[in-house]
Structure 1
Amino acid sequence: MKNPRVLLSLFAIYLVFAILLNSVGTVILQVINTYGVSKSAASVLEGFKDIPIGIVSFLVASQLPRFGFKNAMLVGLAIVTAASLCMPLVPAFWTAKLLFFSVGVAFALVKVAVYSSIGLLARDRKTHASMVNTLEGVFMVGVLGGYWLFSAFIDSSDPESTAWLNVYWVLAAICALTFVLLWTTALDETGTRIEGESPMREFFAMLRLVARPLVCIYIISAFFYVLIEQGIGTWLPTFNNEILKLPPAMSVQATSIFAAGLAIGRLGAGAMMRRVHWYPVLNGCLVAMAVLILLTLPLAEGIVPKAEINWLNAPVAAFILPLIGLFMAPIYPAINSVMLSSLPKHQHSAMTGLLVIFSALGGTTGSLITGTVFEAFDGRFAFYLSLVPIGVILLSLFFFRRAVERVGRPDYPEAALSSSQ
């Protein structure tokens, strides 16, 4: 297996889905203007994307080793290629629903397959952690690039123009090229499943993973991390607008600092994780997040609107608070990598399916809690509340490390690692 070519394929896939998944906000704005859809009606696009991700992951994650990781990724790419072509060919609101439904189904297949494929490539835990951090960093680069790609096709002078739909010709071409790249790349999937296991036994083996102490602690850590990331990421534009008194457009632009921090942090951690142990790094990141919140939010008090506001006279909190993304960046990829590299290869698919499900739950919960607190109190209190899950993760990582070390001991019972037990 030629690892560089396989990795290039995985990175290209994640880049494509980063653009598609995170375009929902832009598409909501455009379908409101282009098709005259109400805000409440347009908001369902988020559900068309997220609900299929959780459902499909739950149903098929344990079966992907049987189907083949490469086949799953090819099917996912084929689905989004076809859906992207439908957008300009059949311009309508229902087509946008179909697009995000397709993206959700495809991403459920792709994420499980991509994460499981990394387990086939990594030589050891540090290499695995490095690859996962780099992969997630590439994802954030795709998020940033997607904003600029879509903006290049939007006609600001004519809000009702359908010119923005031409971006999907480009996206369909990128998807098709990625499909060809993966199709012509060899992927050795030896050891990804236990021969002779029935589909039903494989499914219940995935469910039994949740009963393990190591997996329970991991799920808690991942859940609360995504809760923080989505809570801050989703409501930071509103915080910038209502608390820091930035104009709407500038509020969104300032939020890109958060996404850039996540991208830089994960790409940097991809190199760093080859040399250092994950536990002190993540503890340092969590402490830095808490310190940044405690130092920055007092700067957001008592800000009054300015008649003329620009990047030169914007509140300093608008630049400092989004940097929290730089410190939170390594946490999610690192705990995912540690968890997966602690399991046999044949369990990576099922474990990634559980990861996708609980990540979706954490993201939804974080956004709802932050929004509710934001409305009931204010944005500062809502962001101060992030200190609670940060403390929970600090505690859970302590037990997570102990559980991982127990699994790695020679006297650890092999039966505990067998999906058939």
Structure 2
Amino acid sequence: MHNWRIKFALFLIYVVFAMLLNSVGTVILQVMGNYDLRHVDAAILEAFKDLPIAVVSLLVASFLPRLGFRRAMMLGLAIVTGACIAMPLVPAFLTTKLLFLCVGASFALVKVSVYATVGLITDDAKEHASTMNTLEGMFMIGVLMGYWIFAQFVSVDDPKSQEWLNVYWLLAGLAAITIVVLFFTPYDESGSKLENAGRTLGDDFVGMLRLVVRPVAYVFVISAFLYVLIEQGIGTWLPTFNKEILHLPTDMAIEAGIIFSGTLAIGRLSAGAVLARFDWYPVLNCCLVAMGVLVLLVLPLTHGVIADANITWLTAPPAAYIFPLIGLFMAPIYPAINSVVLSALPRHQHAAMTGLIVIFSALGGTTGSLITGRVFGAFGGQTAFYFSLVPMVGILIALYFFRRETRRTGEAVAGEA
């Protein structure tokens, strides 16, 4: 396979960061028990993860071609290795905040570098789209693995137990191994330096800021922001929903998230085949309608669930299995709109657009988790998840204008060629 070694390294990087980034829901559940925190207090962890992604992406995205993408990815991995080691050595809520701050800042370095690398190692739009879908699919596999791994370390009987912190020794080891794999992987990134020849750092930074005012960019930004708001709102609070609303034990509440991650992984890995045959716009509209229908049909089943001390997977409420299927319909949206907007822009603007993707995805994730956490604490889990219908409608509207603007931009680029 063409460039298979560097692709393998990118997939491995994404798996590591997927386990760390999407552990926030599990960690929220654990720290609320360990440190007697309220929902709204624990929800701040999402901000510690996502805001550094946005800030670091804004500040360094245009600088990374000069630093080198390999160096940036290795630096990010080294930072999270140290942060993971600190978790079991200095157990505290402050350490947890610092962990997610380091993970967020590092992911900003990694995601911009990975997206830029995909552009360097693929030869055409089809290979680019295929690699992007596989990459996002591997991310969801990492999320799935993370749910299962964390569940093996939690104590079912003692909510105050801090045995779960030992999982970070494993994660630190995986990050360190990934650094070694990346170091010994052949990788030619000279193309990025040639494209930036004659341009100053200020030119690149201003170019990224100017891009956001273009209609195709800001309509995309709205779509991406609302999508990530939904995904992170549901994904982060699903373990707590499973425990407090469906009355599942802690380990089952976490493991039930595997279903959500699994459906996201299946959806993204299969999205390439579906979108190769059908136009993206009707596919995504169907996905959004299916998401809304699932919310309206399943959440009523979560009312009046009675706690059962002897609950098993065979006796768990049906909603524990059915609601996470929303990930199957959610999955194609994010990689599809990313691919569409990048394909509509000239290649020299891809790096700037990637920076915007990272920034506004991070802001959407933080907003989604904080809103869901506040509504969850004030009105209950069902109301919090019903609220996801609002951004779903927003995406439906935004996608209409997004399709119109990508067509106009694509025609303009073709005319200049």
Please give the per-residue CA displacement for 1:21-65, whole angstroms capped at 9, x wherever unaligned: 2334555666788xx755368766544433322211111112212
Letter aligned with residue 398 of structure 1: Y
Unaligned segments of structure 1, at least 5 residues = 416-421
CA distance in 2, matches of 1:16, 1:183: 16
Distance 1:177 1:31 in 2: 28
Paired with 2:280 and 2:300, the residues of 1 have a C-alpha distance of: 31
Corresponding residue to 1:230 among 197, 217, 232 = 232
Between the aligned partners of 1:31 and 1:307, the Cα distance in structure 2 is 23
SS of match in other structure, 1:190 = helix
For the residues of structure 2 that align with 1:307 and 1:291, how far apart are their CA atoms? 32
Query: How big is the shift at 1:361?
Result: 1.8
The answer on whether the counterparts of 2:50 and 2:365 sit within 8 Å (CA) in structure 1 is no
Against the structure 1 CA distance between its residues 372 and 22, is the aligned structure 2 distance closer, same or farther, given a 3 Å change threshold?
Answer: closer
Shift of 1:6: 1.6
For residues 141 and 396 of structure 1, the distance between their equivalents in structure 2, rounded to whole angstroms, comes to 29
Structure 1 partner of 2:212: 210
Residues 67-78 of structure 1 mapped to structure 2, 5 A cutoff: 67-78=67-78
Q: Distance in 1 between matches of 2:173 and 2:251?
A: 30
Amino acid at match of 2:10: L
2:108 matched to which residue of 1? 108
Contact preservation (8 Å) 1:154, 1:163: yes
Aligned match of 2:327? 325
1:70-89 equivalence runs, <5 A: 70-87=70-87
Specify the code of the residue in structure 2 equivalent to 1:339. V
Question: More deviation in 181-190 or 281-290?
Answer: 181-190
Equivalent in the alignment of 1:56: 56
- Shift in alpha-carbon separation, 1:171–1:116, aligned structure 2, 3 A: same
Counterparts of 1:304 and 1:164, CA distance in 2:
28
Task: Give SS of 2:392's match.
Answer: helix
Q: Which residue of structure 1 lines up, in the alignment, with residue 117 of structure 2?
A: 117
Cα distance, 1:332 vs structure 2: 0.7
The equivalent position to 1:351 in structure 2, one of 350, 353, 362, is 353
User: What is the DSSP-based 3-state SS (H/G/I as helix, E as strand, rest coil) of the residue aligned with 1:62?
Assistant: coil
Q: 1:392 aligns with which of 361, 386, 394?
A: 394
1:159 and 1:121, CA in 2 relative to 1: closer, same or farther beyond 3 A?
A: same
Residue by residue, what CA displacement relative to the aligned partner does 1:58-117 show, whole Å, maximum 9, x if unpaired?
A: 1111221222222211221222233334455x4443655543332222111001111122
**Which moves more between the two structures, 65-74 or 247-256?**
247-256
Whichever residue aligns with residue 400 of structure 2, its letter is F
Displacement of 1:376 in angstroms is 4.8
1:11 aligns with 2:24: no
Q: Deviations over 1:322-348 (max 9, x none)?
A: 100111011111111221232233322
1:64·1:349 contact (CA, 8 Å) conserved in 2?
Answer: no
Native 8 Å contact 2:65 2:192 kept in 1:
no
Gap change, CA 1:347 and 1:296, over 3 Å in 2: same
Q: Distance in 2 between matches of 1:42 and 1:391?
A: 28
Partner of 1:419: none
Q: Partner residue of 2:221?
A: 219
What pairs up with 1:156-167 in 2 under 5 angstroms? 164=164, 166-167=166-167
- The 3-state SS of whatever aligns with 1:400 is helix
| Aligned partners of 2:216 and 2:406 also within 8 Å | yes
Which sections of structure 2, spanning at least 5 residues, go unmatched?
A: none
User: C-alpha separation between the residues in 1 aligned to 2:111 and 2:70?
Assistant: 12
Q: Say whether the 8 Å CA contact 1:70–1:187 is kept in structure 2.
A: no
- Aligned-partner residue type, residue 141 of structure 1: I
* 1:211 counterpart SS class: coil
| Residues 131, 270 of structure 1: 8 Å contact kept | no
Q: Normalized against structure 1, the TM-score is what?
A: 0.85
Pair 367,198 (structure 1): closer, same or farther in 2 beyond 3 Å: same
What's the CA shift for 1:153?
4.7
Give the aligned length.
412
RMSD: 3.1
- Residue equivalent to 1:20: 20
Distance across 1 between alignment mates of 2:320 and 2:168: 33
Per the normalisation by structure 2, the TM-score is: 0.86
2:37 maps to amino acid: K
- AA aligned opposite 1:49: K
Q: Distance in 1 between matches of 2:378 and 2:99?
A: 35
1:187 aligned onto 2:185: no
1:295-344: per-residue Cα shift (whole Å, max 9, x none)?
22333345455565433333322221110011101111111122123223
Aligned to 2:312: 310
Query: CA offsets per residue over residues 249-282 of structure 1, 9 Å max, x none?
Result: 4433333321221122112224444444322321
Counterpart of 1:340, as a letter, is L
